[in-house]
Amino acid sequence: MAPADDLRPDEDRPVFLLGTGCQKGGTAWLHDYLGSSAETDLGFMKEYHVWDRLDLDEDLPGLKRVLKRGRTALDTLATGGRSADVRALRQATFMLDPDSYFDYFASLVGPGRARLTGDLTPAYGGLGAPRLAMLREGVERRGLQMRVLMSLRDPVERIWSAVRMMQMRQPSRYPGGSADWVRRLHTGDEVAARTRYDLTLARVREALPADQVHVVLYETLFEPASLAALTADLGLSPIEPDTESRPNQTPRTTEVLPDELVAQVARHYRDVYAGIDQAYPHLDVGSRWASARFL
């Protein structure tokens, strides 16, 4: 395996794409969109949830579930069973042996295979710069070039959509109107971890050069110009989009967030608007994010 220092940046090298969010920012649609290309192989899962479950305290229960399923799969194989959960076994292997994670994705690309592979897991937005640097090193040591993709959504809309999803999945735990839960939850650590895009991008850009980071707004994601820029940046041929399909889209309700609550949430996340506007002024969050009118 060639040392990373011996590998020159080369547009012909296959791409490993790491998705770092945001949650409710169209990541599922992006996975399906990129995965529809013959030049792409994203592997056996939509979201691998390896590094978040290893690094982030809030995802520790997920780590325990995966390792338990992995043990069950091994027990099934050991007793001659044929219905072992191979996906869980692979996930557990990635967590226990990071080299196997990089080797797996490297096996999907190269001459006669795909041009691009990757892992689009929104929870990776909480990863620290050391972990991101480790991922870059692991990718580059296998002859791939790393890219990071972030789709950023109006912070108020993102939080509201996430709340409605929580209510849809656990109605007994989150009863009542969504506005009340937005008011209660928007300052919490877990919500902030998924909404402080400025901090995520600062960590990403500490680990990777700016030209290896592709940022798009959810509000413009489905526009032809945005998709053309994305595929060109990733070295892919144009992909015909299915803009009618929106997987994992949280259904809208008749409820409307009151202006005073929108303003309260926007002001709480003022640094997000300012940070993204400063780093990526061409995205024009001031006009693209409706809640920015309250700042």
Nearest to 25 by CA among 294, 238, 240, 272: 272
User: For each of the chain's 295 residues, which pLDDT tens digit applies?
Assistant: 434 444 444 668 999 999 999 999 999 999 999 999 999 999 999 999 999 999 998 877 877 887 788 778 777 777 877 666 788 888 889 999 999 999 999 999 999 999 999 999 999 999 999 999 999 999 999 999 999 999 999 999 999 999 999 999 999 999 999 999 999 999 999 999 999 999 999 999 999 999 999 999 999 999 999 999 999 999 999 999 987 776 767 777 789 999 999 999 999 999 999 999 999 999 999 999 999 999 9
Partners of residue 163 on adjacent β-strands: none
Specify the pTM: 0.90
CATH number of 13-43+108-294: 3.40.50.300
Residue carrying structure tokens 């691998």: 48
Backbone angles phi, psi at 61, to 5 degrees: -60, -35
Q: What is the 3-state secondary structure (H, E, C) of 62-107?
A: HHHHHHHHHHHHHHHHHCCCCCCCHHHHHHHHHHHCHHHHHHHHHC
Neighbours of 73 (CB within 10 A): 21
* CA separation for the pair 148, 210 (Å, rounded): 10
Backbone angles phi, psi at 121, to 5 degrees: -120, 105
Domain boundaries, the chain: 13-43+108-294
DSSP of 96-152: H-HHHHHHHHHTTBSTTSBSEEEEE-GGGGG--HHHHHHHHHHHHTTT-EEEEEEEE
Backbone angles phi, psi at 19, to 5 degrees: -90, 125
Partners of residue 17 on adjacent β-strands: 118, 147
* CA separation for the pair 258, 148 (Å, rounded): 35
Positive or negative, the CA dihedral 36, 40, 44, 47 is negative
Cα angle at 45 between 10 and 74, to 5 degrees? 115
Beta carbons of 202 and 127 less than 8 angstroms apart? no
Cα angle at 137 between 134 and 138, to 5 degrees? 85
Rg over alpha carbons for the chain, rounded to the nearest Å, is 20
* CA separation for the pair 135, 9 (Å, rounded): 16
